[in-house]
Amino acid sequence: MPSFNNYKHVFTPLKVGRTTLKNRIEFAPMVCDFTNCLGEATQNYIDFVESQAESGVALIHLGATPVNWENAVDYPSELDVTDELKINSLGLLAEAAHRHGAKLSVELVHAGRGVHPRYLKGEWGLSASSIPIPGSHPYIKEMDQKDIEKVINDYVDCAARLDRCGFDGVLIHGAHGNLIAQFLSPMTNHRHDIYGGSFENRCRFPLMLLKAVREAVRPDFIVELRISGDEILPEGMRVDEVIEFLKIAQEYIDLVTVSAGLIVDPRAQFYAMPPYFRPRGANVPYARAIKQCPDIHIPVSVVGGLTVDMAEQIIAEGSADMVAIARGLLADLDMLKKCYRGKSEEVRPCLRCWGCAGNYASHVQCAVNPALGRIGRYAKVQKADEKKKVVVIGGGVAGTQAARTLVQRGHDVILFEKNSTLGGLLNDINKLPFKEDLLNYTNWLINTTMKCGADIRLNTEATVENVMAENPDVIVVASGSSPARPPIPGIDNPKVVNVLDVDSGRKKLSGKVLVCGGGVSGCESGLALAMEGCEVTIVDMIPVSEFASDVMDLTRKNLFHLLKEYKVKLVGERLVRSIDDQGVVVEGKDWKYETLEADYVVEALGMKSNNALAEKLKDLLPDVYVVGDAYEVKNIKRANLTAYDYSCNI
């Protein structure tokens, strides 16, 4: 019998203000893009909130929601909580959460100087001081008294409306360099009136706002504040000032969530939204400093790539009272239930790739959970009307996703994998020093697929003969991809090694290394080599501004930051012409040739689909589906999505 509830602290109720939460996990806010063009919640949004509530969390926060639509918006597709005519959709969201015992809150935000020009109605953005963000909207107005009163009224209006609609609280976004933080921080508040200069004056507007919100809602309505425990940049706000501010602010708030960094400043964005390059739990020391201050009496929560195991330790050691998780719960909405039941090894790991954010023309999606946010037959795996025999070719990301889904649907599944283990190319790229999340996902993928009920045949290469000998009704080809090797003179030189051999550790390099290929693979491999002490140059025919362009912008910025930190030289707009014993001969835009010297050359020139077998099988059977890299070389997210979608249709 499995051990139940090994997380005695996580699953203990917590008193927050006058409300008791059923456990210590809150669903951290994330914009899901499920609104219509009027900012109203669609049925998909309502279903998404209900799925969040079903996860078992105590408190759900709906992501970044502007308090006005003139100058507060920081992201498209945000929920409109400013209009009395739209309260019906808000009430339906609250009802969906309450059906499963969760409390529902909204993250109220004003972007301040972080407003995007596309969303700004009018010429001027608002901020504590007229300090534009470099490269962003240049017209920022220092708020006058009328602006200050208007913004406070906007917060009050939205909070009171949500209270009337049945919500349980609001999360006032005072972190990451948004408007409230712009008043608090000496970096962005250069005023010379009662709202600037001294620490007391910098606190004035935020405290006025929190006090007004507290007085506008019922006593048991949760008022939570999100704050950066440290703004990271030298001129920013430090944790000691944050503590001093909270000593006063706690009179008006019931709970504080501790983050870090500045989303509005590219130098510290990846502290606010940590990708896989950053360590998990980096914000815990700031939360601990706040929690252990004897003059702070309200509960403290912390966010930042946390797991349930980490949450248990954080709460047990007294570093926080509660933990906020978003991406981990998106990757596996049953995470809390699995952990409670002693099956934490079954939790699908989050890659922290940020594929769930920044879509702009789509809804929230997850690289490892293709059912997230879906509707109809794709929202949850359903039993097939007719049982079929399906052969899956390939045990990489797409093949294993197909096998698991097809078994869940009730089909008989045979999976052919030519290697001795599942996982495909993940087994090569998960060895990089910053790919622990990918390594965890690979192990999960292998273990869950081996146990899923499919007939898995390792060390068995699929051929037309052995596949057709199974007399299948359907064939799913997930034969993956292999390195593309363009006919460059000298590419067979012994000093040339493929990026997969380097990443996997099969080849050890030293000295001066030239990476040919500025895609994600080349850049990450170059970074890992630099971390090991190599002198690395990355070259490509595309401009440096387009290097690693296939990852989410925030993750890419962190990658470039690290490349600079480890002194990796980036050379764009150079065409590789040949490779010799001296290095790589490249041609520039001026048609001039030069030799980039190297002891080793890493070829990271892309991948090509392995689909030859699929073409042969299509002539023998009508139902042959090609998924993952075998169809189109993309990424883990695309591989999982195509495999899942086809499997739901078989």
CA 453 to CA 20: how far, in whole Å? 42
Characterise 238 by phi-psi region: left (phi > 0), alpha (psi -120 to 50), beta (else): beta
List the structure tokens of 47: 């279903």
Task: Write the CATH number of the domain with boundaries 387-483+610-649.
Answer: 3.40.50.720
How many residues comprise the chain? 650
DSSP 14: E
CA-CA-CA-CA dihedral for 272, 275, 277, 282, to nearest 10: 40
Supply the Cα-derived Rg of the chain in whole angstroms.
26
CA 312 to CA 318: how far, in whole Å? 10
Distance of CA 612 to the CA centre of its chain: 35
Task: Write the CATH number of the domain with boundaries 496-605.
Answer: 3.50.50.60
In a 3-state reduction of DSSP, which class is residue 268? Answer: coil
List the structure tokens of 341: 């039941």
Identify the residue whose tokens are 């051990």: 3
Domain spans in the chain, listed from the N-terminal domain onward: 14-376, 387-483+610-649, 496-605
CA 225 to CA 107: how far, in whole Å? 9
Strand partners, 500: none
Classify burial at 597, counting beta carbons within 10 Å of its beta carbon; exposed 0-12, middle 13-18, buried 19 or more.
exposed
CA 163 to CA 79: how far, in whole Å? 16
Q: Which residues contact 636 (CB under 8 A, 6 or more apart)?
A: 351, 353, 367, 368, 397, 426
List the structure tokens of 83: 């209009």
Element (H, E) at 415: strand 412-416
- Which residue ranges of the chain lie beneath pLDDT 50? 1
What is the per-residue pLDDT for 362? 64
CA 120 to CA 126: how far, in whole Å? 10
Global pTM? 0.95
Characterise 176 by phi-psi region: left (phi > 0), alpha (psi -120 to 50), beta (else): left
pLDDT in tens, 447-494: 999 999 999 999 999 999 999 999 999 999 999 999 999 999 999 999
Q: Report how far apart the first and last C-alpha atoms of the chain are (Å, whole number).
A: 36
List the structure tokens of 573: 């707009």
In a 3-state reduction of DSSP, which class is residue 344? Answer: helix
Q: Which residues contact 591 (CB under 8 A, 6 or more apart)?
A: none
Burial 339-363 (b: 16+ CB within 10 A, else e): bbeeeeebbbbbbbbbbbbebeeeb
**Pair 123, 138: CB distance under 8 Å:** no
In a 3-state reduction of DSSP, which class is residue 207? Answer: helix
What is the per-residue pLDDT for 456? 98
Identify the residue whose tokens are 């349930």: 308
Residue 173: CA count within 13 A, CB half-sphere: 28
Task: Write the CATH number of the domain with boundaries 14-376.
Answer: 3.20.20.70
Element (H, E) at 501: helix 499-504
